[in-house]
A = this chain, B = another copy of it.
């Protein structure tokens, strides 16, 4: 049997750590190294860095080129950032070293909607270096795009798509809560939205453009709104306490228009302690068409676990893909990969380990 797939993880935060821990459980996949941006992680044992009880005898690198040189990976999963601008330098370094890339940076789910030029550049560079690059994650990457696209496959006509994902911010840390404006007073929230310090969800344009391209729709414009969810009861999480009148979360919505008609509406309210306000979390997809489709699930598909899983499950698809930049909608139907990871890689795949 050929040698295991060698995996480098970029990022040892919540997501990078989860990806590293899952990789260690997968046969046929070797976690060969880790890179972190935080200088204080330099030289730390990778096992410790990703939250294992035991050391695994591999150091965390804070210099990406050194990490690559030391580990010779086939594929890297990037879990260091959200934006294309922030992600692209690491991605380019990986590509130039002949390494396939799975990125969970939200904007990498469909980077062309931030910058067509930079997306083309990544695509060209990947083709030149004979590797594949994919952006994925639970959202963008799955619930509000890939899953919706898949459901439209049984539709002869689609006139409108409305999807809602309601989730609970309580498990998240300070950085995420601040990006959603949690704890602010409503006026400060509105100011922070204008300043760009409260961003809400990152990924609506990516999801919308993925859907539109799959269906063949031309989108005129996307209108996003970010409204405060105001607490009516006191709520405490591990990192914050909210009193009535303060902002408990951000109700972020995006509406995409085609010929001035709203055709895609994505609604993603995120707040702490939704259950105290009588708000049930969940996912809901409603397609108006021929036939109509409506699917719902409660609670929502777990975001953290889902992102970790889809990043690791995507590795064989990326190894199998033709060189270049891909979205989830370009690749074969995704799935859990529950056997030796090598069995999912076509033997002709370019950089699979030798026999």
Contacts and interface: CB of A to CB of B under 8 A. Distances in A.
B149 A333 contact: yes
8 contacts: A25-B156, A138-B154, A146-B153, A153-B335, A215-B337, A216-B343, A290-B309, A296-B296
Which of the listed residues A152, A156, A216, A310 has the most CB atoms from chain B within 10 Å of its own CB? A156
The number of chain A residues touching the other chain, given as a range, is: 35 or more
A20 to B, nearest CB: 12
Nearest to A214: B335
A225 B305 CA distance: 35
Contacts of A290: 305, 309
Interface of A: 22, 25, 138, 142, 146-147, 149-158, 214-217, 283, 289-291, 293-298, 301-302, 305-310, 312-314, 328-340, 343-344
Nearest to A151: B147
B216 A310 contact: no
A332 B322 CA distance: 12
A293 B296 CA distance: 11
A144 B174 CA distance: 41
Contact of A156 (B295, B308, B331, B332): B308
A271 to B, nearest CB: 20
Given A216-B338, A216-B344, A155 B309 contact: yes
A302 B292 CA distance: 8
A154 B306 contact: yes
A209 to B, nearest CB: 13
* 4 closest residue pairs by CB, A with B: A216-B339, A153-B334, A154-B306, A291-B302
A154 B309 contact: yes
A340 B216 contact: yes
A155 B306 CA distance: 6
Identical chains in the assembly: 2
A272 B340 CA distance: 45
Nearest to A328: B333
A143 to B, nearest CB: 8
Contact of A333 (B150, B298, B307): B150
Contacts of A343: 216
Nearest to A217: B338
B146 A333 contact: yes
A254 B332 CA distance: 26
A17 to B, nearest CB: 13
Contacts of A309: 153-156, 290-291
Contacts of A147: 150-151
Contacts of A22: 156
Contacts of A298: 294
A333 B214 contact: yes
A329 B333 contact: yes
A153 B329 contact: no
A333 B297 CA distance: 21
Nearest to A316: B216
Nearest to A297: B295
Given A156-B305, A158-B338, 6 more contacts: A138-B154, A153-B313, A155-B313, A155-B336, A156-B309, A157-B336
Contacts of A296: 295-297
